[in-house]
Amino acid sequence: MSTIEWQPAYDVQVSRFDEQHKKLFQLMSDLHNAMKEGEGQIKLAEIFNALTAYTTTHFSDEISLMESMNYPGTAEHKAQHDNLIMQVGELNKKFVKGDGVVSIEVLNFLKNWLVTHIQHEDKKYGLFFNSKGIY
Ligand SMILES: [Fe+2]
């Protein structure tokens, strides 16, 4: 896996969510580094838990703003978030069993999912929020 970094192409034009996305990439990078350095399963689990917890918080923040602004795509967007959380939960069960290969798989999956989601779905709400004066 190449380096995990937030890219300007992921900018959704809503600063609070761009900051949260940057933090998610930072946490994924921390996890990747810990894997490369051969950190133990406990340390990896700790970072992974921080990452999943922050993902959940971030998702709630997005949905809260969508709801308060009556964003038309809220239900669909929330369904995507719920689906990701469910899939990560499944992968985490394997991860907890201690298969090191699975942790890379989890990280790859999460990174690819986020990049695609941000570039398609999140950018849509960006345009909507901007039209309501939220940047
Ligand atoms: Fe989202």
Q: Is residue 86 part of a domain?
A: yes
Q: Which of 29, 31, 8, 21 is nearest to 103 (CA)?
A: 31
Mean pLDDT (whole number) for 83-99? 84
Mean pLDDT (whole number) for 71-100? 89
What pLDDT does residue 101 have? 67
d(CA 89, CA 84): 8
Distance 26 CA to ligand 1 centre (A): 17
Q: Is residue 4 part of a domain?
A: no
Residue 12: which pLDDT band, with cuts at 50, 70 and 90? Answer: very high
Q: Is residue 17 part of a domain?
A: yes
Q: Is the dihedral of CA 100, 103, 108, 109 positive or negative?
A: positive
Q: Is residue 2 part of a domain?
A: no
Identify the helix (H) or strand (E) that includes residue 42.
helix 41-68
Q: Is residue 5 part of a domain?
A: no
132 pLDDT more than 70: yes
67 pLDDT more than 80: yes
Domain housing 33: 11-131
Tokens of 59: 């998702």
Q: Which of 107, 102, 94 is nearest to 48 (CA)?
A: 107
Distance 94 CA to ligand 1 centre (A): 25
Q: Residues lining ligand 1 (ion), CB within 5 A? A: 62, 122
What pLDDT does residue 2 have? 63
Comparison of pLDDT for 91 and 124, the residue scoring more: 124
d(CA 110, CA 87): 9
Q: Is residue 6 part of a domain?
A: no
CATH number, position 17: 1.20.120.50
49 pLDDT more than 70: yes
- Domains in the chain: how many in total? 1
Mean pLDDT (whole number) for 98-121? 87
Distance 37 CA to ligand 1 centre (A): 31
Cα–Cα separations (whole angstroms), residue 108 to 14, 15, 133, 134: 25, 25, 35, 32
Q: Is residue 67 part of a domain?
A: yes
Q: Is residue 3 part of a domain?
A: no
Cα–Cα separations (whole angstroms), residue 97 to 35, 45, 87, 90, 127: 16, 11, 16, 12, 42
- Give me the residue label for tokens 């990701």: 84
Q: Which of 63-67, 72-76, 100-104 has the lowest mean pLDDT?
A: 100-104
Percent pLDDT > 90 in the chain is 72
